[in-house]
């Protein structure tokens, strides 16, 4: 990809360059908010919620929720009770849905925190109604219908039955989830929407929701009343194969902690999986798989290795990614750019989560949620 101008590449503000730090994760909260606003503007007037499960896709649930609530987001989705309790403490007024639904025994705590489970079975419905009866009121919940994931939710043909048996609760949302919304040409999208429409008709006056991030970009425009983006908020590309319309939110940089010159035939790292083909200069950076750089970002016959931006040049990982270190081939980096103490970019505007994921045979969602806890974290914006 060649040289990137210094202005284009991630600039690490000098106050970030504290000598104690070898790895830095910067979360750009203004980019997060701008992604949320963009998704809201693309959703045909539907309310734009935010999925903040898995610690805000690895970026920090507290900072993410405060930023989005401050920007006007009123509906949040989390995976489980504990995430929901955290969410409630952060956003006392918000509507918070728990995607797991009612896990056995959790109903009283869900109710106490004012959380709304996404119910997908009669057993959950009964536990939720019983928890409500104890409190003397009908508790609010989403009803989740399974139009193809075969993971969670009622079968669409059970809709009339669900209406009858949901009398002991107060449904506030009827929802389903796409199998392949990232593939707009897949006929399953239209089929799922077609199966969801009659379900929705059974619940007049209840809000409906289907779209995750990629769902917002489907030609069928399945916005309904509430959209539920996660990945795209955090800078993931909801339109794989096309240009990423979202701004980068996670920026990872690491410092060069050692540089050396190798002769042809010298190897790097465990098991010597990389052998210098020419006189080479290599730089060791202070981040490894314990920081979320996948071991699978090591070069393999069928795919190239991960890369870092060093002084504007793309430099490949050489040798196996180890726990605390990655070694870069900086032979072709600009003179003076690959020196001890300098910062290199691993994730950001020049290398997005898809790019790193593609070189690690995984998906951007996994890259984000496995970023690791060791970095110094900075929240900007
Ligand atoms: C995780 C999740 C989302 C968000 O999906 P993204 O692809 O990250 O936008 C929406 N709905 C449900 C049910 C989910 O589990």
User: Could you give the angle at the alpha carbon of 152 between the alpha carbons of 147 and 153, nearest 5°?
Assistant: 60
Query: Where in the sequence of the chain do the CATH 2.40.37.10 domains occur?
Result: 250-380
What pLDDT digit, counting tens, does each position of 293-335 carry?
999 999 998 899 999 999 999 999 999 999 999 999 999 999 9
| Cβ contact 176:200 at 8 Å | no
Q: What is the mean pLDDT of residues 143-171?
A: 97
Query: Where in the sequence of the chain do the CATH 3.20.20.10 domains occur?
Result: 29-234
C-alpha of residue 327 to centroid of ligand 1, in Å = 35
At 374, is the pLDDT very low, low, confident or very high (cuts 50, 70, 90)?
confident
Q: Which two tokens stand for residue 162?
A: 């669900």
| Cβ contact 120:146 at 8 Å | yes
Q: Which two tokens stand for residue 22?
A: 């070898």
C-alpha of residue 360 to centroid of ligand 1, in Å = 22
| Cβ contact 16:24 at 8 Å | yes
Q: Which of 192, 228, 357 to mutate to test the pocket of ligand 1 (most atoms within 8 A of CB)?
A: 228
- Sequence-ordered list of residues with C-beta below 8 angstroms from that of 41, at least 6 positions apart, any chain: none
Q: Which two tokens stand for residue 1?
A: 């990809």
270 is catalytic: yes
Collapse the DSSP code of 83 into the 3-class scheme (helix H, G, I; strand E, B; otherwise coil) and give the result: helix
Kindly name the residue from 53, 97, 289, 365 that is annotated as catalytic: 53
Lining residues, ligand 1, CB within 6 Å: 51, 99, 177, 212-213, 228-232
At 373, is the pLDDT very low, low, confident or very high (cuts 50, 70, 90)?
confident
pLDDT over threshold 70, residue 155: yes
C-alpha of residue 362 to centroid of ligand 1, in Å = 17
- Residue 372 pLDDT: 81
Alpha carbons 154 and 162: distance in angstroms, whole number? 8
Ligand 1 nearest-atom number relative to CA 175: 13
250-380: in CATH 3.40.718.10: no
221 is catalytic: no
- Residue 18 pLDDT: 54
Looking at ligand 1, which residue's alpha carbon is closest to its atom 11?
A: 212
Looking at ligand 1, which residue's alpha carbon is closest to its atom 12?
A: 177
Fold classification of 29-234 is TIM Barrel (3.20.20)
Percentage of the chain beyond pLDDT 90 is 90
Task: Give DSSP secondary structure letters for 106-150.
Answer: -HHHHHHTT-EEEE-SHHHHHHHHHHHHHHTSPPEEEEEB-SS--
What pLDDT digit, counting tens, does each position of 176-209 carry?
999 999 999 999 999 999 999 999 999 999 999 9
Residue 179 sits at φ, ψ, to 5 deg, of -80, -45
Q: Identify the sign of the CA torsion 220, 225, 230, 232.
A: positive
Q: What's the mean per-residue pLDDT of the chain?
A: 94
What pLDDT digit, counting tens, does each position of 206-252 carry?
999 999 999 999 999 999 999 999 999 999 999 998 999 999 999 99
| Of the candidates 113, 193, 177, the residue with the CA atom closest to the CA atom of residue 143 | 177
CA 177 to chain centre: 16
- Residue 4 pLDDT: 38
C-alpha of residue 341 to centroid of ligand 1, in Å = 39
């Amino acid at each position: 990809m060649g040289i990137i101008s210094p202005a284009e590449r991630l600039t690490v503000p000098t106050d970030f360059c504290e000598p104690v730090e070898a790895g830095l994760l910067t979360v750009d909260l203004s980019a997060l908010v701008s992604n949320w606003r963009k998704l809201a503007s693309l959703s045909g007037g539907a309310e734009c919620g935010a999925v903040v499960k898995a610690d805000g896709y690895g970026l920090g649930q507290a900072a993410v929720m405060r930023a989005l609530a401050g920007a006007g987001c009123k509906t949040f989705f989390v995976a489980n009770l504990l995430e929901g309790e955290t969410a409630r403490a952060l956003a006392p007024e918000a509507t918070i849905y728990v995607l797991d639904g009612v896990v056995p025994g959790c109903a009283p705590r869900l109710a106490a925190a004012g959380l709304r489970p996404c119910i997908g079975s009669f057993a959950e419905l009964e536990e939720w109604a019983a928890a409500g009866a104890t409190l003397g009121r009908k508790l609010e919940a989403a009803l989740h219908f399974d139009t193809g994931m075969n993971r969670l939710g009622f079968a669409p043909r059970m809709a009339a039955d669900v209406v009858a048996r949901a009398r002991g609760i107060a449904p506030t949302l009827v929802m389903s989830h796409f199998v392949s919304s990232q593939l707009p040409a897949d006929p399953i999208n239209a089929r799922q929407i077609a199966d969801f429409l009659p379900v929705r008709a059974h619940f007049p006056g209840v809000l409906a929701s289907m779209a995750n991030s990629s769902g917002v970009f489907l030609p069928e425009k399945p916005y309904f009343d509430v959209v539920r983006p996660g990945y795209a908020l955090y800078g993931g590309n909801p339109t794989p194969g096309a240009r990423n319309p979202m701004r980068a939110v996670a920026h990872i940089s690491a410092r060069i902690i050692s540089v050396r010159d190798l002769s042809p035939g010298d190897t790097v790292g465990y098991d010597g999986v990389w052998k210098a083909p020419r006189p080479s200069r290599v730089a060791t950076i202070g981040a490894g798989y314990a920081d979320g750089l996948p071991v699978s970002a090591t070069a393999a016959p069928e795919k190239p290795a991960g890369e870092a931006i060093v002084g504007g040049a793309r430099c490949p990982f050489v040798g196996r990614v180890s726990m605390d270190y990655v070694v870069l081939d900086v032979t072709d980096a600009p003179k003076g750019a690959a020196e001890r103490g300098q910062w290199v970019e691993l994730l950001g505007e020049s290398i997005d989560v898809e790019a790193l994921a593609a070189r690690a045979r995984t998906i951007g969602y996994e890259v984000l949620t496995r970023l690791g806890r060791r970095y110094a974290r900075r929240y900007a914006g």
